[in-house]
A and B are shown apart, each in its own frame.
Chain A
Amino acid sequence: MAFFEGKNMTGGYGKGPDVINSCTVNVERGEIVSILGPNGAGKSTAMKAMLGLLNLKSGSVIIDGKDISKLSPQDRVKEGISFVPQTKNVFAGMTVEENLEMGAFLINQDYSKVTDEIYNLFPILSEKRKQFVGELSGGQRQQVALGRALMIKPSVLMLDEPTAGVSPIVMDELFDHIIKVKKTNVAILMVEQNAKQALNISDRGYVLVTGENRYSGTGKELLNDPRVRSSFLGG
């Protein structure tokens, strides 16, 4: 039994058609798992289903042996699941410090130690803690987004295309940060477009096609699998 698992999930948005079909994704603590696949394969949907942003018709979501399929997203946050959306993932009109504070909204005791840890993880944020996030660069913003999500000391961190729209150099830097986060014993699940780079740092990966699991395996296996290479990695 994996630490965090979405089992045989089937569902879609509102009354629309099913976007994911009997899709299974799981992740252990201290592991990075990527969900890959072509456009419209239901990668983000699978992740949102695990977060509770859409209603499942069947299947279940389990964390640490506990079924959370019926909980609202807010309640899942309380279970230690953090999510970084692809866009609009920071409070642009607030300072770095305030962004982190909002991340810790649900924590009622002193969280200054957590803040310090995050500043250690992302030193640049410590420098700019009084600046408005709207004024920061794209890469720095992504760090703020990660930092905000880490404030509740999550056991699971879900990232929706963390490197979308940033330059290759910043992308490498971000992946480095994600590896650092993983080392703090967090389970990381991410959806990525930059499949090669993502698989390079992933322990495992899933390839979804039309909402179903097509291939899965360790990062290396998938990278070397000729079928995966030819269809998704550009040869």
Chain B
Amino acid sequence: MDFLNALILLLNYIFVPALAYGSQLAIGAIFVTLIYGILRFANFATGDMMSFGTMVAILFTWYFQSIGLTLGFLPTALIAIPFAILFMGLYMLIIDKFVFKYYRQNKSPPVQLAMVSIGVMFVTQAVVRIIIGPSDRRFFDGEKFLIRANEFKEITGLNEGLAIKSTQVITIVVTIILVSTLFWFLNKTKTGKSMRAYSDNEDLALLSGIDPKKIVMITWMIAAILATIGGVLYGLDKSFKPFTYFNNMLPIFAAAIVGGIGNPFGAFLGGYVIAFSEILLTYAYKKFFIYVLPESMEPDGLIQLLSTDYKFAVSFSILVIVLLYRPSGIFKGKIL
């Protein structure tokens, strides 16, 4: 019984939250890696692009709510996503046309493109703050919990409750669908394969007759889908705040590099590596050991490896270690 309690404890405080957070990071990391692999630069506007997409989704959600259109127990934001993707894609294509295209055609070094993306970051940040403001927004509606901790305790008769938020389930389900569709697209369709070919060897792709303009456009469209969905899922689960989204860029970068930048599958796993290590290393295991160990050996302290203040620092340290020992990432990068 104690063992079961301990297990539920870990599930409730570590596994489920880490899985949801990891999914959100994973989507962002695939976004980063895709841009890096095909357009060949580190996009410092990642977080702000995600916040742009989320902002549009929030505006549509408000509109739908105002005309009384809801999804019942599911959040209204889910219907807003397709519209938001459309706007996000348009925004990205406009930016590409007026900003990135010039440097791509001049074959500028990646560093210059990264600098340019900082300009885009500033602009996007301004646009988002001017339109929706800098404050915290919650736009979740519908049923909040799938299982409440109390209900779970009643059903199972255990001491420990397991609470599963509906946003966590939505996050995980959407991530599975989105990521598997993306991998199917990249590995099985002709267009997807030509994107991988372009990422792998640009000159040879051109010699094979692959149209770079089309590749770039499709890449931005996929990026728009990833940025919007990733942003909305995070916003539903926590809340929307432009500054937080900017900061999320950092663990997302960490995930992409840990997974091997340029490799979408690596980025996907990298998201979970970062999320799990952040939560595993900063969780206080006291209660867990109380359940598992005999009474005489019960611990005094919190049994916490690192204080939760260092959550971000954990993921960055992992990144630094990975960069030192395996700069190409755990899952080998630079292959799309």
Bound-state CA distance A128–B47 (Å) is: 42
B200 touches A94 (CB 8 A): yes
Which of A101-109, A166-174, A220-228 interfaces with chain B?
A: A101-109
A 61-85 binary contact with B (CB < 8 Å = 1; else 0): 0000000000001100110000101
B 288-318 binary contact with A (CB < 8 Å = 1; else 0): 0000000000000000000000000000000
Of all chain A residues, which has the CB nearest B202? Answer: A88
B193 touches A148 (CB 8 A): no
Which of B148-156, B172-180, B206-214 interfaces with chain A?
A: B206-214
A73 touches B206 (CB 8 A): yes
Q: A78 — which chain B residues lie within 8 A by C-beta?
A: 209
A92 touches B207 (CB 8 A): no
Question: Which one, A85, A90, A101, A106, contacts B193 given CB within 8 A?
Answer: A101
Determine whether A18 belongs to the interface, using a CB cutoff of 8 Å to chain B. no
How many interface residues does chain B have, given as a range? 20 to 34
Determine whether A91 belongs to the interface, using a CB cutoff of 8 Å to chain B. yes
Residues 96-130 (chain A) with a chain B CB within 8 angstroms: 98, 101-103, 105-106
Determine whether A40 belongs to the interface, using a CB cutoff of 8 Å to chain B. no
Bound-state CA distance A73–B207 (Å) is: 7
Smallest beta-carbon distance A104→chain B, Å: 8
Given contacts A74-B209, A102-B210, A105-B209, contact A91 B197 (CB under 8 A): yes
B206 touches A74 (CB 8 A): yes
Nearest 5 pairs of A and B residues by beta carbon: A93-B335, A106-B209, A91-B200, A102-B197, A93-B200
Query: What are 19 sample pairs from A and B whose C-beta atoms fall under 8 A apart?
Result: A73-B207, A77-B207, A77-B208, A77-B209, A85-B204, A88-B201, A88-B203, A89-B204, A91-B197, A91-B201, A92-B200, A92-B335, A93-B335, A102-B197, A102-B205, A105-B190, A105-B208, A105-B209, A134-B335
18 new A-B contacts, CB < 8 A, other than A92-B200, A152-B209, are: A73-B207, A83-B207, A85-B203, A88-B204, A90-B201, A90-B204, A92-B335, A93-B334, A94-B197, A101-B193, A102-B210, A105-B197, A105-B208, A105-B209, A106-B208, A106-B209, A148-B204, A148-B208
Residues of A within 8 A of B (CB): 73-74, 77-78, 83, 85, 88-94, 98, 101-103, 105-106, 134, 148, 152
